[in-house]
Every structure is written in structure tokens, then in C-alpha cells.
Amino acid sequence: MPSVAKVSAEGRRQETQAEVGAGERAVVELIEKVRRKLGTLPDLENGDLIQEGEWFQFHRPLKFGVGHSDAGPPLKALVVVDREPVPMESLAPGLLMNGSVAHVLDPYATEELRSAPGSRSGSGTERLFNWLEELRQELEAAPGIPMQAVLSQMEEAPRDARTALDMYGLFAREEWLKPYLAEPLMHGALCEGVAQGSFIAIGEEGTVVMGSPLYVRIAPLRQT
């Protein structure tokens, strides 16, 4: 007969698994509820027009890491960028988002990700990186307020498309975020989610959509 201690431990393990499963289902249900509320959104992969301040959806391989401002009191953010850089001559836009490390869920919220000092935003792109992070913090502090209202209270965005394209290229490099990547997401997994456009950079070499994610998750397998 198993000992009382062993039975008790097994019971706690099963209870913990049940709690985790219930928590995961609750998150999925909440995401689906929000998606229904938002209705039909522009799709980044279909070439739909993405506008600043508006919601859009995406479905593509992504990688995650931590970035920080180049100098001064560092602003630290979760960086979400294309798994492979989109060629600048491509008609498809690149995607670069910044969020809060605090919102990353297990099993991707590794201690390495939480404590990583991060990769530099780059001296030439620091102002844009800081502006994007300040915008994200303002949006999270005032949920429900339209982005345009938040933008009206902030310093004007750096409008140089070259700066945005440079920052995309920097973070999308294979080696740039490598020390701080969440490894489970690095094996070609497709992600999907919804984000709010914060800066659309259109240059001669291509387009980059920058945004603040509402959520990002591994994409469910689609029926073919």
C-alpha cells in the first residue's frame, strides 16, 4: 500500500494540474471573447491596410526577447519580431512589437527572460524605442481610452521611417536577441494574435508595422 504521504503528494499534483488546465482554458475563453468583441480586423498577412491606432491581426513565425534603451535610465521591454527578417524588397510588411515581460505566461516566462538585461535598442533608434515603450505603458495604464487620445498627450513620435526600418533590422537579426530568447518558440512555430498599430514605417526598401500586442499565442493547427 502506498504511504499516506505519497497519496497526499499525488493528490496535490493532480489538483495542481487541474488548476493549471482550468487557468489555460480561462485564458483561451477570454481571448475568444475579446476576438468576437473586436469583430473583423485587418489582416497583416492578407495585405490589408494597417493604420496607426487601430487593431489588426497577424499569423506568422515570431521570436521573443528583451530589449532596452541605449543610454540613460533603461526602459526594458519584451520585443516580439519576425522569426526571420522580411526581405525589404518583399511586398509583405515586417512586424515589430513591444510589450511587458510581466505579461508573458508559463512556460515561456523563464527566469532567463524575466531577468535578462536585454539587447540594446541601438544608439540611432533609442528615441523611437523609448517612445514606443512609453506609449505601451500609457495604454496599459488607461485601458479603454482610444490610442489617439493617449497620443495627443505624448511627445510627437519620431516620424523617420529610416529609423524604424533600422530598428527592425537590428532586432530581427539572427544573433541580436539570441542570448535572451524563449527557446520553445524558436523552432518554426507559427504565432497568431492581435495588436494595435503604433507606428507604420514606409520606406523605399519596405514597410514595417510596429505595434503593441493585445495577445500573442502559438497558433492552433489549422485544418487543410
pLDDT at 62 over 70: yes
**Residue 39, all three cell numbers:** 469583430
Residue 74, classed as helix, strand or coil, is: coil
CB-hemisphere CA count at 13 Å for 186?
13
Q: How many domains does the chain have?
A: 2
Is residue 55 within 8 Å of 68, Cβ to Cβ?
no
- Does residue 204 share a domain with residue 190? yes
Q: Tell how strand 119-120 and strand 55-68 pair up.
A: parallel
pLDDT in tens, 106-138: 777 777 777 777 777 777 788 888 888 888 888
Cβ partners under 8 Å of residue 154, min gap 6: 131, 134, 135, 138
- Does residue 131 share a domain with residue 23? no
pLDDT at 58 over 90: yes
Is residue 78 domain-resident? yes
Report the Cα–Cα distance between both ends of the chain, in Å, rounded.
50
Domain of 22 in residue numbering reads as 1-39
Is residue 89 domain-resident? yes
- Does residue 33 share a domain with residue 92? no
Residue 125, classed as helix, strand or coil, is: coil
Query: What average pLDDT does this structure show over 86-111?
Result: 83
- Does residue 105 share a domain with residue 54? yes
In this structure, which amino acid lies at residue 173?
R
- Does residue 10 share a domain with residue 120? no
Is residue 81 within 8 Å of 63, Cβ to Cβ?
yes
Nearest to 108 by CA among 219, 218, 222: 218
Residue found by looking up cell 539587447 in the block: 119
Q: What is the total residue count of the chain?
A: 224
- Does residue 13 share a domain with residue 44? no
Query: What average pLDDT does this structure show over 200-219?
Result: 88
- Does residue 12 share a domain with residue 73? no
Query: What average pLDDT does this structure show over 69-95?
Result: 80
Is residue 138 domain-resident? yes
Is residue 223 domain-resident? no
- Does residue 190 share a domain with residue 118? yes
In this structure, which amino acid lies at residue 165?
L
- Does residue 205 share a domain with residue 152? yes
Give the global pTM: 0.78
10, with CB counted inside 10 A (0-12, 13-18, 19+), is: exposed
Is residue 224 domain-resident? no
- Does residue 164 share a domain with residue 89? yes
- Does residue 51 share a domain with residue 35? no
- Does residue 132 share a domain with residue 108? yes
pLDDT band at 18 (very low <50, low <70, confident <90, very high): low
In angstroms and rounded to an integer, the radius of gyration of the C-alpha atoms of the chain is 19
Q: Look at 144 and 30; give whichever has higher pLDDT.
A: 30
Output the pLDDT for position 204. 78
Q: How far apart are the C-alpha atoms of 159 and 65, rounded to whole Å?
A: 25
